[in-house]
């Protein structure tokens, strides 16, 4: 069953009570509210085949080995032309930090709903707690809770993530905030290295994308997928392409990630020693369409909670998203108009539910607005 929202904002008289996803209740219910039931053609399929995702060893690249760097760029190029997904291992991120980032999720998501709602995400905002998307949509709701945290690399002394957690949830969760502050800093550093490899694989100046994202303004999201007694009826995250530039994902041992390739869904099994990396719409625009963002989703199960850590890399708000000159010529004209990340972000927050067509619909919207 769905329970009434516990909110500091009183309901207006005669206003219908809003649906809320309370995992502590819904995880045990055999009756799934209709808002969480997906259409038959979008419901998860049983036992999808495994996607053969290349595993990129970053050890040689990080140590400056030119042969290993070229091999990594070759594998990345092949993956990004096909589906935009690859794994990175020997990435230099401390294993204890990754473990702590998974373990500390329980400190927040196992709190009573009313306490989590102290960090309630408001309409149009990009950070805060969300119990499903009940405040934004009324159908095809995802079976999950999230906590999104804004990160900025503009000021190396800034503790934006830690400060947000303390301000919203109290000093008792300071260590929780500190873990994700450290995790974001590690992800930002890793993403800049991956951007070097992407530049090499596209044949542009090696430093081009690294410099473009050095002052990134990104989003860290903790995804918490509780068990569902009817997992064949719903989805943890619906089919979509990420509107951001690059996603660095770490799954726990409970599988659930699926990617749509060659007209079928395929699974990506967890690998505790590797991150799953995928191209987002913004980088597809930066590559002038040469590298692809790919539709993916998350499924749930009836037995175990699934947790994942997602770092969504985005450029600073004043950066113009336009491909480097090397990627534009008579045979490869511009595919997408110039835009900034805040424009696309506002579009998917307020006007359009992100799916596999987001970038094209957004491009049409930008061109129409410009004329």
CA dist list (Å): 207 to 189, 197, 198, 320: 14, 9, 10, 17
Place of tokens 């290993």: 68
**CA–CA dist 344, 361 (Å, integer):** 11
Could you tell me which residues are beta bridge partners of residue 85?
278
Q: For residues 243 and 282, give the distance between their C-alpha atoms in angstroms, rounded to a whole number.
A: 6
Q: How far apart are CA 49 and CA 313, in angstroms?
A: 29
Angular region, 73: left φ>0, alpha ψ -120 to 50, beta rest? alpha
Q: Is 64 exposed, middle or buried (0-12, 13-18, 19+ CB in 10 A)?
A: exposed
Tokens representing 152? 């900025």
Q: Of the residues 121, 306, 334, 369, which is catalytic?
A: 306
**221 tagged catalytic:** no
Give the residue numbers marked as catalytic: 306
């Amino acid at each position: 069953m769905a329970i009434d929202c516990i909110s500091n904002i009183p309901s207006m008289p005669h206003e219908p009570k809003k649906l809320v996803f309370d995992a502590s209740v819904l995880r045990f219910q055999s009756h799934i509210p209709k808002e969480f039931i997906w259409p038959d053609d979008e419901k998860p399929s049983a036992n999808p085949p495994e996607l053969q995702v290349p595993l990129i060893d970053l050890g040689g690249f990080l140590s400056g080995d030119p042969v290993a760097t070229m091999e990594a760029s070759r594998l990345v190029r092949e993956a990004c032309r096909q589906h935009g997904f690859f794994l990175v291992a020997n990435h230099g991120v401390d294993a204890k930090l990754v473990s702590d980032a998974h373990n500390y999720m329980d400190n927040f998501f196992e709190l009573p709903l009313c306490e989590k709602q102290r960090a309630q995400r408001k309409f149009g905002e990009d950070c805060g707690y969300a119990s499903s998307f009940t405040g934004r949509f009324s159908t095809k709701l995802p079976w999950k809770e999230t906590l999104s945290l804004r990160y900025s690399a503009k000021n190396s002394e800034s503790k934006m993530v830690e400060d947000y957690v303390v301000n919203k949830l109290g000093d008792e969760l300071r260590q929780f905030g500190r873990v994700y502050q450290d995790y974001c800093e590690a992800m930002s550093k890793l993403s800049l290295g991956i951007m070097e490899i992407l530049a090499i694989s596209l044949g542009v100046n090696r430093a081009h994308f690294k410099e473009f994202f050095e002052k990134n303004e990104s989003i860290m999201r903790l995804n918490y997928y509780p068990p569902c007694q009817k997992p064949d009826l719903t989805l943890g995250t619906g089919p979509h392409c990420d509107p951001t530039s690059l996603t660095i994902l770490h799954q726990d041992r409970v599988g659930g990630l699926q990617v749509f390739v060659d007209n079928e869904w395929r699974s990506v099994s967890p690998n505790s020693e590797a991150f799953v990396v995928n191209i987002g719409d913004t980088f597809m625009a930066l590559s002038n369409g040469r590298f692809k963002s790919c539709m993916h989703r998350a499924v749930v199960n009836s037995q175990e909670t699934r947790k994942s850590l997602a770092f969504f890399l985005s450029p600073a708000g004043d950066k113009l998203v336009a491909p480097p000159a090397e990627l534009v010529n008579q045979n490869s004209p511009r595919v997408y108009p110039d835009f900034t990340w805040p424009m696309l972000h506002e579009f998917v927050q307020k006007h359009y539910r992100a799916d596999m067509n987001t970038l094209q619909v957004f491009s049409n919207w930008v061109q129409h607005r410009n004329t």
